């Protein structure tokens, strides 16, 4: 059982972070829409082991897009762990990384293509990669 988060201003700040409709997610959605791509938001994908809700889903093409926050998902470039004597945040980020890998594996086994976009990635570059992959799937 993981330790409970320490009662601190850091914990309050972390709880107040949004889990959906973040600025990077909205920027990516806007760029995808500008490119003429239509998608679903908040779409629930039921798998054998669990249900997941990617940030953006192209249902016909079975493409799931996750916009991962640098802190919450442990970006190798930008994640800076808070100094916490209990180790709660290190364990939390580790659990998130493991969950992300398991979800990716389950989705791939079910025939889905997965895109993971870091929040620091420019929206136009991420949208370009997604758009290219969707166009490639259509032509094959």
Domains and CATH numbers, the chain: 32-139 (3.40.960.10)
CB atoms within 10 A of CB 74: 18
Residue 4 pLDDT > 90: no
Q: How far apart are CA 10 and CA 17, in angstroms?
A: 11
pLDDT top residue among 9 and 51: 51
Q: Tell me, what's the pLDDT at 52?
A: 96
Q: Tell me, what's the pLDDT at 98?
A: 96
Q: What is the mean pLDDT of residues 114-133?
A: 96
Residue 130 pLDDT > 70: yes
What DSSP string runs through 10-38? HHHHHHTS-SSS-HHHHHHHHHHHHTT--
Residue 45 near residue 104, CB atoms below 8 Å: no
Q: Give this prediction's pTM.
A: 0.83
CA distances, 2 to each of 45, 93, 99, 128 (Å): 27, 12, 15, 39
Residue 134 near residue 58, CB atoms below 8 Å: yes
pLDDT top residue among 129 and 80: 129
Residue 25 near residue 42, CB atoms below 8 Å: no
- Which distant-in-sequence residues (6+ apart) come within 8 Å of 25 by Cβ? 55, 56, 67
Q: Tell me, what's the pLDDT at 72?
A: 82
Residue 45 pLDDT > 70: yes
Sheet with 56-58, side-by-side order of all strands: 56-58, 63-68, 113-118
Mean pLDDT, the chain, whole residue set = 87
Q: Tell me, what's the pLDDT at 70?
A: 87
Q: How far apart are CA 43 and CA 33, in angstroms?
A: 17
Q: What is the pLDDT of residues 51-109, one digit of tens each?
A: 999 999 999 999 999 999 988 888 888 777 777 767 888 888 899 999 999 999 999 99
């Amino acid at each position: 059982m993981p330790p409970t988060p320490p009662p601190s201003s850091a914990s309050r700040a972390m709880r107040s972070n949004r889990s959906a409709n973040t600025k990077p997610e909205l920027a990516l959605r806007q760029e995808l829409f500008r490119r003429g791509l239509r998608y679903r938001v908040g779409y629930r994908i039921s798998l054998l082991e669990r249900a997941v809700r990617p940030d953006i889903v192209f249902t016909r093409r079975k493409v799931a897009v996750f916009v991962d926050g640098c802190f919450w998902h442990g970006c190798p470039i930008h994640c800076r762990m808070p100094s916490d004597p209990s180790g709660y945040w290190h364990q939390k980020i580790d659990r998130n990384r493991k969950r992300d890998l398991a979800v990716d594996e389950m989705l791939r086994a079910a025939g889905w293509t997965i895109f993971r976009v870091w929040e620091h990635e420019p929206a136009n570059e991420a949208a370009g990669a997604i758009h290219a992959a969707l166009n490639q799937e259509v032509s094959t």
